[in-house]
């Protein structure tokens, strides 16, 4: 299937039948450049898949989930820039610091910034540590 040339001007151009749109003169169409096309014949009916590579810091379970679940992959890719520890396991030092900050009544934003995790994951860890009671 031939490719259409792009018109880089915003004014109306000549249609395929040779008529001008809105009665205006056609604008100059940029010349066709052969370098714009890829080498070889165009693929017909073939599909190309890009291998999915999970971020290194995810646990093995989360890596498998990342590779197999597209919704989870989108969520992780969205969260990684601001939540640098997303998917990582908690260390003992982080747990001690979390316990200390929680007892000092740190805000949700302070906890998120300190640990690089969502407030949901922080609350889940507090529940596991038996520091936060669910009522």
**For residue 125, what pLDDT band results from cuts at 50, 70 and 90?**
very high
Residue 77 lies in a domain: yes
pLDDT averaged over every residue in the chain? 75
**How distant is the alpha carbon of residue 81 from its chain centre?**
9
Residue 61 lies in a domain: yes
| 75 against 4, higher pLDDT | 75
pLDDT above 70: residue 29: no
According to the model, what pLDDT value does residue 127 have?
A: 92
With beta carbons less than 8 A apart as the criterion, state whether 112 and 122 touch.
Answer: yes
Tell me what the mean pLDDT of segment 122-127 comes to: 92
Residue 11 lies in a domain: no
According to the model, what pLDDT value does residue 122 have?
A: 92
Residue 73 lies in a domain: yes
With beta carbons less than 8 A apart as the criterion, state whether 13 and 26 touch.
Answer: yes
User: For 54, phi and psi rounded to 5 degrees?
Assistant: -75, 150
User: Exposure pattern of 13-52 as b/e (b: 16+ CB <10 Å)?
Assistant: eeeeeeeeeeeeebeeeeeeeeeeeeeeeeeeeeeeeeee
Using alpha carbons, select from 96, 97, 88 the residue that is nearest to residue 116. 88
According to the model, what pLDDT value does residue 99 have?
A: 94
- The dihedral region occupied by 120, where left means phi > 0, alpha psi between -120 and 50, and beta the remainder, is alpha
Residue 104 lies in a domain: yes
Same domain, 78 and 102: no
Using alpha carbons, select from 116, 112, 109 the residue that is nearest to residue 87. 116
Is the entire prediction scored with pTM above 0.85? no
Write the pLDDT tens digit of every residue in 52-89: 778 777 788 888 888 898 888 888 777 766 777 877 88
Question: Which range marks the domain in which residue 58 is found?
Answer: 54-87
With beta carbons less than 8 A apart as the criterion, state whether 49 and 67 touch.
Answer: no
Q: Which two tokens stand for residue 50?
A: 């890009």
């Amino acid at each position: 299937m031939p490719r259409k040339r792009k018109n880089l001007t915003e004014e109306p151009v000549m249609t395929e039948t040779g008529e001008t749109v809105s009665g205006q003169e056609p604008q100059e169409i940029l010349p066709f450049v052969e370098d714009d096309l890829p080498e070889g014949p165009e693929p017909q009916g073939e599909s190309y898949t890009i291998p999915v590579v999970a971020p290194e810091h995810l646990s093995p379970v989360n890596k498998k989930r990342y590779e197999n679940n597209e919704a989870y992959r989108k969520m992780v890719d969205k969260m990684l820039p601001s939540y640098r520890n997303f998917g990582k396991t908690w260390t003992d030092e982080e747990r001690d610091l979390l316990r200390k900050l929680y007892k000092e009544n740190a805000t949700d934003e302070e906890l998120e910034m300190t640990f690089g995790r969502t407030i949901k994951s922080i609350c889940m860890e507090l529940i596991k540590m038996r520091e936060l009671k669910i009522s």
